Amino acid sequence: MTGVPDLPLPTIVDIRAAAERIKLLAVRTPLIEHPALNDRMGGRILLKAETMQRVGAFKFRGAYNAVCQVDRTRYPGGVVACSSGNHAQGVAHAATLCGMQSAIVMPLDSPKLKLSRTKAFGAEVITYDRAKEDRDAIALDLCKKRRAAFIHPFDDPRVMAGQGTAGLELMEQASARGAVPDAVLVCCSGGGFLTGIAIAVKDASPATKVYSVEP
């Protein structure tokens, strides 16, 4: 009883449905352009400012889209997640907005600010030693005991669809500026954000290339 649905990868229809679910709560973040950066790079550079999203990261999009679809009859114990920071805050905030309980499994050495913000968003925080303990095992045990749904940070079609709403916005905003991106660069960790963005971008412009990038 993990609460992760056995569903295929999301489609553009799923991403558009997610956009409808989150539109009254998520921030439509700006697409920023500056002539100094354009001159330096020799082309138009458009930056999607997801740091201005709720909880300071795109993670709210996927978290809310997943949490709001949890079957409360089947999972009366709310939701459980594992994260060292941004997904933790996104799930905690989304659960509180939906009137649900949340428990977040976080490393003992998580930044103090992220621990305190996750608690402030209404979650119960359970810490663990990442060198000695298995966070997934802790989380799944909590799900079983509490009859709660597990909200995976990226391996969940509902999360991917929610993250993809940033791609919908990006392509709409670029079009309004008279631009069709040659390429879209997306930060990549687990790949949920990248998956959702790629689906949305390719639907709007099949010729646009999508690249995953990491620091």
Catalytic residues: 59, 84
**CA dist list (Å): 209 to 106, 137, 162:** 35, 38, 21
Strands 102-107 and 79-82, sheet pairing: parallel
What is the Cα–Cα distance from 42 to 38, expressed in whole angstroms?
6
Question: Per residue, what are the HEC states of 68-132?
Answer: CCCCCCCCCCCEEEECCCHHHHHHHHHHHHCCCCEEEEEECCCCHHHHHHHHHCCCEEEEECCCC
By the 10 Å C-beta count (0-12 exposed, 13-18 middle, 19+ buried), 96 is classed as middle
